[in-house]
Amino acid sequence: MSENKSLLKLKAITKVFSKGTIDEVTALDGVNLDVNNGDYIVIIGSNGAGKTTLLNVIAGVYPPESGEIILNGRDITGMCEYRCANSVGRVYQDPHVGTAAKMSLEENMAMAVLRGQVRGLRAATNKQRRELFRAALAPLGLGLEERLSALVGTLSGGQRQALALVMATVSKPAILLLDEHIATLDPRTAKTVLDLTDMIVTREKMTTLMVTHNMELALKYGNRLIMMHKGRTVVDMNEEQKANLAINDLVVAFERAAGEQLTDESILLGHH
Amino acid sequence: MLEPTVIGHLLGFSIYEGLVYGFLALGVYLTFRVLGFPDLTVDGSFVTGAAVAAVLIISGVNPFLATLAALGAGLCAGLATSLLNTKLRIPALLASILMMVGLYSINLRIMGRPSVPLLREVTIFSLVSQLPGLETRLVHQLVVAVVLAVIVFFILNWFMRTEIGLALRATGDNEQMVRGAGVDTDKTTILGVSIANGLVGLSGGVVAQAQGFVDVNMGIGMIVMGLASVIIGEALFRPRGVARILVAVIGGAFVYRLIISIALRMGMRPGDLKLITAVIVIIALAIPYLQKKIRREWMPPASRW
């Protein structure tokens, strides 16, 4: 596939929670997004902007109220989560979500490598697959490839998140969704996992949507930056536009686009 | 004091019972521990397996086929429970209670009357008794139980390591991760609960033939007995890995049966059996919380479902 070919298209996606009640929330309000093959998009926005809802809709966790999702020219609107998962890899904020604690590393990896394949009555792990697992885990530099039979519950949060990252990418899904995947890690571990992410995404030229709370990261990583506010995309910058940007410029751009003051401190500070 | 021959008989009988009720315990292990699916269908599907085997044997069907049919009947009961849970979104515990109650009527229908005797019918035990060199009734029971247990062990030990078996095990550990890897967790749940109740039905079918009758109430408390076996097996053997877990669960059923047999011999009233079993399970379930309380650690309230 050539670069700059459209991979994922969102057309006027709307998602409303608790419809018809006093708690009604419009989480996505007509989102249009065109993701090109090989894009590394960073999505920022304050709490409740709709970032996670956007990823959930793409991953098929729930269907949108209206709009269309086209992946690789195929309409996947309303397709359920496990079917979407054949072409979507995902790392969650909580390391516990992406990995199974009571199973060994190799069993977790065996679940991950079969993404998109029919599961049958062959042995889940064998010598050949173990080699594959080792090769996938070794570049992390965490020594996980030597601990294939260890239970995942014995790993640290950072190690589990690194494993979750490998599990989400090892079968080379069409698109990778990162949902604030370093937010709960301590600063040093967060940097390690972020570097690993960058290494894998760059190496595999993987189309990626990364949600973050952190403006500094948003400027440093990716070839495109999207800012969401109240269920809409309010800023969309390409690599050149964001190249010489400082955090303050981003705040100004946001305020101009959203028409209001940015008050969420965590997003302003941009640091841990 | 107990005579050595009595002890030998006691051990032999407990091994037989441990193996046969071990199938049921394996089923309970599969739902409660592997899938995290509290399944009370067991009290009904145990009798369904027994009833189907008995009725088929009386109508002249080969007892091995009848035993296989008992497994199939249990499988169907588990299928129904898991469909209630996955397709109609009824909580597992409630879905299985509904099935347990419904199965009571179904079991009565299958049997035609509350109790069906199997005396002088051709059972797997009477077939085995025709083999040369096998003298006593206990030896027949042991031979049947060991052969069946070995078959069940090898099939489960193989299946749990396959790609589908792995997905099934992972479903109980982290359903979100499994869906994220592209597996329909509804299907793995349905498969697991069905297999579990198939094992329970098999247990019922074999027990019916060994004791020579089926009673519509013979399933009462089977789930608690299965849980007790699982808990004892885990506590005694602290197993890791598929094969060891399977052995530990059957071992737990053996120890449980041995304790009960000894208690009965020492004068425990048979009617008190279920209360004592329930107390064993209550103690085992309460220990983790009490331990945390002593260490002043926090534990979330128990879930209502």
Note whether A97 contacts B: Cβ–Cβ < 8 A.
Answer: yes
CB within 8 Å: B181 and A115: yes
Contact B181 A103 (CB under 8 A): no
Token pair 């592209």 in the structure block, residue? B182
- Neighbouring CB atoms inside 10 A of A69's CB total 22
Tens-digit pLDDT string for chain B (305 aa):
567 788 888 999 999 999 999 999 999 999 999 999 999 999 999 999 999 999 999 999 999 999 999 999 999 999 999 999 999 999 999 999 999 999 999 999 999 999 999 988 999 999 988 888 777 889 999 999 999 999 999 999 999 999 999 999 999 999 999 999 999 999 999 999 999 999 999 999 999 999 999 999 999 999 999 999 999 999 999 888 899 999 999 999 999 999 999 999 999 999 999 999 999 899 988 988 899 889 988 888 887 76
| Domain interval for residue A222 | 6-87+173-269
Q: CA of B179, closest CA in chain A: separation in Å?
A: 5
Instruction: State the pLDDT at residue B2.
Output: 60
Give contacts of B173 with chain A, Cβ < 8 Å.
100-103
| B interface test, pick of A80, A99, A119, A122 with most B CB neighbours within 10 Å | A119
Using DSSP, state whether B10 is helix, strand or coil. Answer: helix
**Interface contacts (A, B; CB < 8 Å):** 83
Which chain A positions have a beta carbon within 8 Å of B176's beta carbon? 92, 97
- B252 in Cβ contact with B233 (< 8 Å): yes
Chain B residue numbers with beta carbons less than 8 Å from the beta carbon of A124 are 161-163, 165-166
Number of independent structural domains in chain A: 1
Average pLDDT value over all residues in chain A = 89
Query: Which residue pairs, CB below 8 angstroms and at least 24 apart, start in A138-145?
Result: A139/A196, A139/A199, A139/A200, A140/A166, A140/A196, A144/A105
The hierarchical CATH code for the domain B4-271 is 1.10.3470
List chain A residues with CB under 8 Å of B180: 59, 81, 85, 89-90, 98, 168
Would you state the pLDDT for residue A269?
A: 46
Question: Is A90–B180 a contact, with Cβ atoms under 8 angstroms apart?
Answer: yes
Tell me how far apart the alpha carbons of residues B256 and B250 are, in angstroms, rounded to a whole number. 10
Residue A260: its pLDDT value, please? 65
Contacts of A43 (CB under 8 A, 6+ apart): A51, A54, A209, A210, A211, A212, A226, A227, A228
Identify the H or E element spanning B4: helix B4-28
Q: Which of A5-9, A123-127, B37-41, B188-192 has the lowest mean pLDDT?
A: A5-9
pLDDT digits (tens, 9 = 90+) for B87-101: 999 999 999 999 999
* Long-range CB contacts for residues A182-186, cutoff 8 Å, separation at least 24: A182/A212, A183/A93, A183/A212, A183/A213, A184/A93, A184/A94, A184/A95, A184/A157, A185/A95, A185/A157, A185/A158, A185/A161, A186/A158
User: Does residue A126 belong to any structural domain of this protein?
Assistant: no
Rounded to whole angstroms, the Cα distance separating B123 from B135 reads 17
- β-pair partners for A14: A29, A66
Is the CB of A111 less than 8 angstroms away from the CB of B166?
yes
Q: Does A172 touch chain B (CB under 8 A)?
A: no
**What amino acid is encoded at B38 in this protein?**
P
Per-residue confidence (pLDDT) for residue A1, from 0 to 100: 42
For the segment A122-127, the average pLDDT, to the nearest whole number, is 95
Q: Do A119 and B163 touch (CB under 8 A)?
A: yes
What is the reported pLDDT for A255?
78
The per-residue pLDDT for A106 is 96
Q: With 70 as the cut, is the pLDDT of residue A267 above it?
A: no
Domain ranges of chain B: 4-271
What's the confidence (pLDDT) of residue B1?
52
* pLDDT at residue B203, rounded to an integer: 98
CA nearest A177 in B: which residue?
B180
End-to-end CA distance of chain B: 47
Task: Note whether residue A36 is domain-resident.
Answer: yes
Are the CB atoms for B92 and B223 separated by under 8 Å?
no
What are the residues of chain B with a beta carbon less than 8 Å away from any beta carbon of chain A? 159, 161-167, 169-170, 173-174, 176-185
- Nearest C-alpha in B relative to A108: B170
Q: ipTM strictly over 0.85?
A: yes
Does the beta-carbon distance from B164 to A121 stay under 8 Å? yes
**Is residue A122 one of the residues assigned to a domain?**
no
Residue in B159, B161, B167 closest to A111 by CB: B167
The tokens of B142 are what?
């042991």
Q: Edge to edge, what strands does the sheet with A6-17 contain?
A: A25-36, A6-17, A66-71, A74-75
Residue A127 belongs to a domain: no
Task: Say whether pLDDT at A246 is over 90.
Answer: no
Report the residue of chain B nearest A123, measured CA to CA: B162
Residues of A in contact with B183 (CB under 8 A): 82, 85, 111, 119
| Chain A residues in contact with B162 (beta carbon < 8 A) | 120-124
A111 touches chain B (CB under 8 A): yes
pLDDT one-digit tens code per residue, B218-231: 999 999 999 999 99
Length reported for chain A? 272
Domain of residue A225, CATH code: 3.40.50.300
- Establish if A101 belongs to a structural domain: no
Between residues 65 and 84 of chain A, which touch chain B (CB distance below 8 Å)? 81-83
Q: Is A153 on the interface with B (CB under 8 A)?
A: no
Domain membership of residue A147 (yes or no) is no
Please report the DSSP string for A148-159 in residue order.
TTSBGGGS-HHH
What does the alpha-carbon distance between residue B34 and residue B40 come to, in Å, rounded to a whole number? 15
Q: Check whether A2 has a pLDDT greater than 60.
A: no
pLDDT for residue B31: 97
Query: Which of A85, A121, A168 is closest, CB to CB, to B162?
Result: A121
Q: Is the dihedral of CA B190, B191, B193, B198 positive or negative?
A: positive
Examine residue A261 and state whether it is found in any structural domain, yes or no: yes
CB environment A174-212: b (16+ within 10 A), e (fewer) = bbbbbbbbbebbeeebbebbbebbbebbeeeebbbbbbb
Contact A16, A27 (CB under 8 A): yes
Which of B159, B160, B174, B191 has the most A C-beta neighbours within 10 Å, making it the best mutation to test the interface with A? B174
Give the whole-angstrom CA distance, residue B178 versus residue B182: 7
Residues in B touching A107 (Cβ below 8 Å) = 166, 169-170
**What are the chain A neighbours of B164 within 8 Å (beta carbons)?**
119-121
pLDDT > 70 fraction of chain A, expressed in percent and rounded:
93
